[in-house]
Amino acid sequence: IVKTKGTVLVLGRSGTGETVCICDRMEYDGQLYSSNPAFRQLFVSRSTRLCRYVEEAVGERKYCAFTTF
């Protein structure tokens, strides 16, 4: 999941590691593409708590946005 090219949708049951994969992927892509001014990342979650957790895990970056729906 981390090194797959393009957009990735991660689905899984509770406790299977989706959040870890997402955080690792955001970090990996950030290392590769953050020098590109057009690079952006968007994390969307139904859970405010999960959104806050991922934002804290990934860290505040100018190219990242975190939101819930």
In whole numbers, what is the pLDDT of the chain averaged over residues?
92
pLDDT per residue as tens digits for the range 39-64: 999 999 999 999 999 999 999 889 99
According to the model, what pLDDT value does residue 63 have?
A: 93
Q: Tell me the two tokens of residue 32.
A: 């590769």
